[in-house]
Amino acid sequence: MPDFTTQEVMVTTAARMLRDGEVVFVGIGIPNLAVNLARRTRCPNLVLIYESGAIGARPSRLPLSIGDSVLVTGALGVCSMPETFQYYLQRGLIDVGFLGGAQVDRFGNLNTTVIGDYHRPKARLPGSGGACEIAALARRVLIVMNHKLRSFPERVDFITSPGYLDGGNARQRLGLPGGGPAAVITDLGVLRFAPDTREMVLESLHPGATLEQVQENTGWKLHVASPLRTTESPTDEELHVLREELIPPGGAR
């Protein structure tokens, strides 16, 4: 057994997809850990922005929500939400946005709105929040989700946040400014999108995960890269920062 958890693999994998100096729209949970890990390792100049308007936050504890008070104390700046969405996101200043959802489909479209019919839902979910605009306007999007069959249908019940829609150049045809999803990081592996069809392709399996597991938990016949790599394990340094600095023993998760 490896001496690290699946969440730690997801966090380090996401962290490695960030480049120094990038401006990142952060959520809580794994994205928050990934961005803070990257900032403390390879990307000291990463700029963290929360859709709540906190810029360059330096949280002294893990934020419990994107509007947490710790994101303001000691931040570089605060701006109103209309400014966040217009002057930052729509202006094209956000390099990376993190998204997740109840469902993601083969073209990276995300659903956080309803399961079933919109007007007679089986389950009513929270809705878009800032997800729709992050998907539409961020230069690239990283999707972080657990890999379950019900979460990976061939087609989402509702497109809250546009991925590549029907694939190909559908985004460009609709004039979506953002680049769309760059990768999907699950608890089983990493998936990217084929440059032409924009369909999801399994790129690597996390240590211990199998292709069968992934296919069983995916609602369509999944394309697989060859060779299918194994996701790089977290380094000792990454694990140290993660365990000692970001999630201090007894610290909130």
Residue 247 binds another protein (CB under 8 A): no
Of the residues 131, 200, 239, 246, which one makes contact with another protein according to CB under 8 A: 131
Which CB, 51 or 203, lies closer to another protein?
51
Catalytic position from the list 8, 22, 51, 203: 51
Both tokens assigned to 174: 């609709």
Of the residues 42, 168, 176, 220, which one makes contact with another protein according to CB under 8 A: 176
Strand pairing partners for 184?
Answer: 143, 191
**How many other β-carbons are positioned within 10 Å of the β-carbon of residue 14?**
24
**Rule CB under 8 A: which of 43-62 touch another protein?**
45, 47, 51-56, 58
Residue 251 binds another protein (CB under 8 A): no
Residue type, 67: G
CB of 98 to another protein, least distance (A): 15
Listed ranges 86-94, 98-106, 191-199, 212-220: which one lies at the site for another protein (CB under 8 A): 86-94
Size of the site for another protein (CB under 8 A): 69
As a whole number of angstroms, the distance between CA 105 and CA 99 comes to 13
What are the backbone dihedrals phi and psi of residue 140, each rounded to the nearest 5 degrees, phi first? -150, 155
Taken in order 239, 224, 157, 134, the sign of the CA dihedral is: positive
Cβ-in-10-Å burial (0-12, 13-18, 19+) of 77 comes to: exposed
Of the residues 2, 127, 208, 248, which one makes contact with another protein according to CB under 8 A: 127
Residue 21 binds another protein (CB under 8 A): yes
Of the residues 132, 201, 209, 214, which one makes contact with another protein according to CB under 8 A: 132
Listed ranges 7-15, 97-105, 172-180, 192-200: which one lies at the site for another protein (CB under 8 A): 172-180
**How many other β-carbons are positioned within 10 Å of the β-carbon of residue 95?**
18
Q: Are 76 and 23 in contact (CB under 8 A)?
A: no
Is 51 considered catalytic here? yes
- The DSSP H or E segment spanning 15 is helix 6-16
Would you give the distance in Å from CA 202 to the centre of its chain? Answer: 16
3-state class (DSSP) for residue 96 = strand
**Rule CB under 8 A: which of 95-114 touch another protein?**
113
How do strand 114-116 and strand 121-124 relate by DSSP bridges? antiparallel
Listed ranges 11-19, 162-170, 191-199, 214-222: which one lies at the site for another protein (CB under 8 A): 162-170
CB of 104 to another protein, least distance (A): 14
Q: Which residues contact 1 (CB under 8 A, 6 or more apart)?
A: 208
CB of 156 to another protein, least distance (A): 9
As a whole number of angstroms, the distance between CA 208 and CA 241 comes to 23
Residue 170 binds another protein (CB under 8 A): yes
Kindly list the catalytic residues: 51
Interaction site with another protein (CB under 8 A):
21, 23, 28, 45, 47, 51-56, 58, 64-83, 85-87, 89-93, 113, 118, 121, 123-133, 135-137, 158-162, 165, 170-171, 174-177
